[in-house]
Amino acid sequence: MTLAARVVIVGASSGLGRSIGMGLAGRGSRVAFLGRRLDRLQQAAAEAGADAFAMTCDVREGASCATAVELACTELGGADALVYCAGIGPLARLVDTTPEVWRDVLDTNVVGAAVATGAALAHLAVGRGRAVYLSSVSASLTPPWPGLGAYAASKAALDKLIEAWRGEHPEVGFTRVIVGETIGGTGHGATEFVDGWDPELAAELFPNWMQRGYLTGGTVCIDDLVAVVASLLEVDADVPTVVITPRP
Ligand SMILES: NC(=O)c1ccc[n+]([C@@H]2O[C@H](COP(=O)([O-])OP(=O)(O)OC[C@H]3O[C@@H](n4cnc5c(N)ncnc54)[C@H](OP(=O)(O)O)[C@@H]3O)[C@@H](O)[C@H]2O)c1
């Protein structure tokens, strides 16, 4: 089994994407770190090693996102894997979720994934490559969490999108990774997912999530998530779905 040599990670400036990028680079992959914050990406690439590089990409901007992913694949000399980690989950009750927020969530979590995949597809197809997407327990294992309705709807759409890609392009391995609560790595490797949340609303909703059993208090160890993604990039088998959640 050989680890994918050339990997494009979209959403690699913080949290899970950054940690996955560092972990894959540490295992010998050449990694392109993509996202909006160039300083963060450059820092990650420098830490990852000489061959890694950074590239700015706002996945909500269709044409420039496609160009960035295409450029990253070309710079790598081809791509064996795309790992799509870009994602946002604004905290708001549905009644307070504006059309602008809906668009932002869907553009980032779904449309961006479609555009990035389309841009990498020809490269991935050359060597039976793989595309991996981070999805959420709240889209498939639990009912949608109150306050995260738009997020759950977007991840459910992402799940269907991945199935649709698989149907049209069997030459590429498409995998969704359903991830339970993960704090991430250290420093910029820590998740920033909740950073913009209204603390009062979060404090109101948190006990409800606990009571419903959606949150257990445990978290997935980032090294475990990295190991799972790395193993996906080593195998040729069809692996439609992987679930990784905290152990009770
Ligand atoms: N942490 C968890 O417990 C958990 C659980 C299940 C699933 N997930 C999923 O894991 C993924 C990563 O989450 P995280 O916890 O690591 O959160 P995070 O620290 O906030 O990371 C999100 C990443 O997405 C990038 N991003 C956001 N908007 C973007 C845009 N418009 N264009 C390009 N990149 C964009 C961010 O980079 P820039 O801001 O620099 O663009 C950042 O690198 C998300 O898809 C999330 O839904 C996380």
**pLDDT in the model for residue 129:** 97
**pLDDT in the model for residue 151:** 98
Tell whether 11 is covered by a domain: yes
Tell whether 141 is covered by a domain: yes
Tell whether 1 is covered by a domain: no
Tell whether 76 is covered by a domain: yes
Going by alpha carbons, the residue nearest to atom 41 of ligand 1 is 36
What are the tens digits of pLDDT across the range 37-66? 999 999 999 999 969 999 999 999 999 999
Distance CA 18, CA 40 (A): 9
Binding site membership of 189 for ligand 1 (Cβ less than 6 Å): no
Going by alpha carbons, the residue nearest to atom 17 of ligand 1 is 193
**pLDDT in the model for residue 27:** 96
Provide the CB-side half-sphere exposure for 140 (13 A, CA): 19
Report the SS3 class of residue 97.
Answer: coil
Tokens of 42: 């450059």
Going by alpha carbons, the residue nearest to atom 26 of ligand 1 is 86
The pTM for the full model equals 0.98
Atom of ligand 1 nearest to the CA of 191: 19
**pLDDT in the model for residue 248:** 84
Number of structural domains found in the chain: 1
Pocket test for ligand 1, best of 82, 88, 151, 225 (most atoms within 8 A of CB): 88
Tens of pLDDT along the chain (248 residues) come to 687 799 999 999 999 999 999 999 999 999 999 999 999 999 999 999 969 999 999 999 999 999 999 999 999 999 999 999 999 999 999 999 999 999 999 999 999 999 999 999 999 999 999 999 999 999 999 999 999 999 999 999 999 999 999 999 999 999 999 999 999 999 999 999 999 999 999 999 999 999 999 998 899 999 999 999 999 999 999 999 999 999 98
Binding site membership of 69 for ligand 1 (Cβ less than 6 Å): no
Atom of ligand 1 nearest to the CA of 37: 40
Atom of ligand 1 nearest to the CA of 155: 47
Tell whether 152 is covered by a domain: yes
84, 133, 151, 214: the active-site residue: 151
**pLDDT in the model for residue 2:** 80
Alpha helices in the chain (DSSP H): 15-26, 38-48, 62-75, 99-106, 112-126, 137-140, 149-168, 199-211, 222-232
From the CA of 27, how far away is ligand 1's center (Å)? 22
- In the sheet that holds 81-84, the strands lie side by side as 53-56, 30-35, 6-10, 81-84, 130-136, 173-179, 241-244
Tell whether 248 is covered by a domain: no
User: Is 214 one of the catalytic residues?
Assistant: no
Going by alpha carbons, the residue nearest to atom 9 of ligand 1 is 134
**pLDDT in the model for residue 3:** 79
CATH code of residue 171? 3.40.50.720
Query: 60 lies in which domain range?
Result: 6-243
**pLDDT in the model for residue 1:** 62
Binding site membership of 9 for ligand 1 (Cβ less than 6 Å): no
